[in-house]
Every structure is written in structure tokens, then in C-alpha cells.
Amino acid sequence: MFDKIFVEKSYETNARALSIINRFPKAKVSVIDKIEDIFNRVKKPYLQKNESLNLFLGEKKGQLVKEAPDAYGLSGEPHYYFIHAYNCIYECNYCYLQGYFNSPDIVLFLNHRDICNEIESVTEECSKKGLTPWFHAGEFSDSLALTHITGELEIYHELFSRLPEAKLELRTKSANIKALLELTPKKNIITTFSLSPADKIKKNDLQTPSLRARLNAIRKLADAGHPIGIHFDPVVYDENFKEKYTQLVEELFESLPVDKLEYISVGVVRFTKDVFHQVKKNYPSSELLSSELIKSFDGKIRYNRPMRLWILSTIREVLLNANVDKEKIYLCMEEDDELVIDS
């Protein structure tokens, strides 16, 4: 998978770094001072990830836990994300990472204990105010895709077992649940799967597991007692979207009893200006560009407002018809639109 592995000097003999390096015996290993000396320094086109990918191992410095943007998760509770990786082995054609870093190379930060300490401090502050903080893993990567190699899940599992007043969301498009299945389910550790109709996954979620594989993973985790959330995000319009989402909802609830669903988010496809530019460059014939898109209330590029409202309310109705509790549905990054739908 990786051509070269760069490991920071201070992690050269680290057990976790060595165990990751040993998984890739053909990769050339170089010892470096700091990740930032090399990663992101020279522009490497996003699509080059299909031909040559490098791996960086080292320490995340600076702020390790950050406040999440508004409407990131269930409203009324503080949301944070933590950073333990940059970039992703998958290639969703709408992914915002293609406009974020200069390079698609994968960075894995190994100072999980430091991240855990910061999560504990934030939880303590929130507890003093009577708040339940949410922590989201995988803001700059997929939370589960490499966990069989990286092995950090048990560290976070141990932490959140000690912090029942805090919640951890592991967000994924993978079906890589091996490491998670080895851990005892916890009420406050929620695995969330991003799903789209099967044909959309094939067209847009490139290199990712199929809908069938993700639904199988959901079934296995739910059977084992792990809490499950779902993201219908991003929704990409096509003229049969209602039928496709109706079928998706039916298939989903064959794998996951509806009363076992923790929550479901719905969000239409959206891009920052930079990402939109990258999408046009990288995927010029993508269906993402076939509908009219406009600059919307927060500067992001989306479908026009009536179309967004129509898509969101249609899918919400499909969910309500499938007996999903109204309180479990939230509209991602669409705060002002939600008010209109709710009224």
C-alpha cells in the first residue's frame, strides 16, 4: 500500500510505530526529524494517491482536540473532534480532503495518550457545566479503515469506559470492524456509518466497501451490542432519489432494528470553494457537477435552497415512514434549513 514510510526520530523504536512498519515489509523506511519538514511541503496531486502513497508516523503537536463546527452533531451538546490522522485510503470524489492538504499521503499520529489527556480535560470542564461532550474521531480521515493496523481503538475504548459522561463517535465508510468487535460494547462509544444508495457508492465513494459490505458490518456490530448511528451524507441528487433512499432505508432496517438506531443525519452534498475547484479538476465528468450549484448561506457551494429543502424533507419523510423517531433525525450543516422544515 505504501511506497515509503517516514518515521520521526523520536518514534523510531516505538512499539506501535514498529508494529505498523512491519505490516509493510516492501516499503522503504526513512527516519526524519519532524513530519512537517516533509509532509505537505511539496504539492502532490490528490489523484496520485492511486499510484504512489507514502506514510508518515510521528507526533501530533499543538491543539489535539478542537471544537467542531456548528450543527456538527446532535444539537444542544458540545461537539469536539480530535486529530489522530491526516488523509484517507479511500477516494470519495466529493471528499474535502482533496482541497485541504497539499498531499494525499497518510499521516498517523501515535501520541494517543496525549490526545486522551486532552479529551479528559475537556470532559472535566464540560462536566462542571453539566454538559455531555461528544468527541468525533476521523475529521481528517476514516475512523475505522486502518484500525486493524494502527491498533489505537483499545486506547480510546479504555478512556471512554472511564468517562461514561462523554461520548465518542467513530465515523466510517469502511467495513473494517475486526478491531472493534474484539472490544466490549459501550453505550457511549457509537460507531456511525455513512451510507448512500448502492449506485451512488459505486460512482462517488471510490475505493470504499460496497453498500452490502457496510450493511453486513452494521448487522454484525448491532448483533454484538455496539451502538450504531447512520449518516446519509452527502446526498447526491438524481431524479430517482426518493425511490433510492426508500430502498436504502428498507435495506438498512433489515440489518439494524429501527429501535437500535442511535441517530441519523442527513446532509446534501456541499463544497468549500477550494474543494469545488479540485472536484472540477479531478472529476470533470462526475455527476456531482451535473446539477446547478450555488454559493449558499455559509459560503459553501450547494444545490439551491428550495432544492435542498425538498431533498432533506423528502428523505426525512422516508425515515419517519420507516418509524424512525423524529428526535433521532438531524440535518447536517443545514441549521437554518432545519428551522424551516420544523415549522
Q: List residues binding ligand SF4 (CB under 6 A).
A: 88, 90-92, 95, 97, 141-142, 173
Q: Which is nearer to ligand SF4, 104 or 133 (CB)?
A: 104
CB of 239 to ligand SF4, least distance (A): 24
Q: What are phi and psi of 288, to 5 degrees?
A: -60, -30
Q: Which is nearer to ligand SF4, 8 or 142 (CB)?
A: 142
Q: Which is nearer to ligand SF4, 142 or 337 (CB)?
A: 142
Whether 304 and 294 have beta carbons less than 8 Å apart is answered as yes
Take residue 83 and report the three cell numbers written for it: 486529530
Q: Which is nearer to ligand SF4, 163 or 211 (CB)?
A: 211
CB of 236 to ligand SF4, least distance (A): 13
Cβ burial, residue 242 (10 Å; 0-12/13-18/19+):
middle
At 98, is the secondary structure helix, strand, or coil? helix
Q: What are phi and psi of 316, to 5 degrees?
A: -60, -40
Q: Which is nearer to ligand SF4, 167 or 231 (CB)?
A: 231
Q: Which is nearer to ligand SF4, 88 or 115 (CB)?
A: 88
CB of 18 to ligand SF4, least distance (A): 26
Whether 24 and 1 have beta carbons less than 8 Å apart is answered as yes
CB of 144 to ligand SF4, least distance (A): 10
Q: Which is nearer to ligand SF4, 32 or 190 (CB)?
A: 190
Take residue 138 and report the three cell numbers written for it: 476521523
CB of 274 to ligand SF4, least distance (A): 15
Q: Considering only CA atoms, which of 186, 170, 98 is closest in space to residue 134?
A: 170
Residues 193, 291, 46, CA angle at the centre, nearest 5°? 60
CB of 91 to ligand SF4, least distance (A): 6
CB of 97 to ligand SF4, least distance (A): 5
DSSP-assigned states of every residue in 21-49 = HHT-TTSEEEEES-GGGTTTTS---GGGG
Q: Which is nearer to ligand SF4, 142 or 334 (CB)?
A: 142
Cα 302 to its chain centre, rounded Å, is: 20
CB of 92 to ligand SF4, least distance (A): 3
Virtual torsion, Cα 20, 14, 83, 60, nearest 10 deg: -130
